[in-house]
Amino acid sequence: MNLIIDVGNSFVKLAIFHKGVIKYKVTVELELVLKQLEVLSQAYGAIKGVIISSVGGLTKSDLEAINKRYKVLLLDYQTKLPFKNCYKTPKTLGVDRLALVSAATKQYPSCNVLIIDAGTCITYDFKSDDNSYLGGAISPGINMRYKSLHNLTANLPLLKASTPKYITGGSTEESIHSGVIHGVLSEIDGAIELYKLKYSDLTVILTGGDAKFLSKQLKSSIFANSNFLLEGLDYLLQINSNE
């Protein structure tokens, strides 16, 4: 059994994998990590390896407690990767993007793959068919766009994401929904088309917190996989545990 710990700003995703297959996952608040680990240890006593992504959100005492109990791999730019990293500034590359490209390398080893992670930010990561990571793009996510309109203007309200009924908004709220959601959809579809102009055999993966909301509204053909990052972390743990 492998334990995957993906640390965000406020929440932590934990998942149990066995032989590359996800068996359980849960999301908890940062301060509840150790309690949840105790629950998982009782339910899955045969945990052999642990990988932690984005350690910044965990306290020093939390990390020490986890390290005492398990053999832990802290993911960073120096971790052994299953692909050639051609990024010009590898030290600044988010570990979540390393995990996503690792998942693409395992599941689509001889394919040109564009991974789109629709979360707080929308990240685009491209892996070539010779398993080279070439980089990608970063843009504001859906909620960030709503918050920006509210925080950086005097009169626009803060709204929650909602699929617009019309392209032309008949009110301020309808106009905001149309601008944000159609803007994101057009951006993603446009990015996919740009890549397809160069790579006609492109495989596109959509993941992240907003993947389900966006997947049915996109014009482009994509594979939606909400567990893609967790699968990449499990793969990284596998290849680093076999040394």
The pairs formed by 224-229 with CB atoms below 8 angstroms and a separation of 24 or more are 227/15, 227/22, 227/25, 228/100, 228/103, 228/115, 228/117, 229/6, 229/96, 229/99, 229/100, 229/103, 229/117
Binding residues for ATP: 6-13, 120
Q: Please compute the mean of the pLDDT values over residues 156-162 and round it to a whole number.
A: 97
**Is 62 found in the same domain as 13?**
yes
**Is 168 found in the same domain as 89?**
yes
**Is 145 found in the same domain as 124?**
yes
Q: How far apart are CA 128 and CA 241, in angstroms?
A: 26
pTM of the model: 0.93
**Is 88 found in the same domain as 70?**
no
Q: How far apart are CA 205 and CA 80, in angstroms?
A: 23
**Is 89 found in the same domain as 36?**
no
Would you say residue 225 lies in a domain? yes
Which one of 74, 103, 125 terminates a domain? 74
Q: Is 129 one of the catalytic residues?
A: no
Number of domains into which the chain is organized: 2
Supply the range of the domain harboring residue 192.
Answer: 84-233
Quick: pLDDT tens for 119-142.
999 999 999 999 999 999 999 999
Would you say residue 79 lies in a domain? no
Residue 243 has pLDDT above 60, yes or no: no
Binding residues for substrate: 87, 94-97, 172
Q: Kindly name the residue from 62, 76, 96, 234 that is annotated as catalytic.
A: 96
Binding residues for K(+): 117
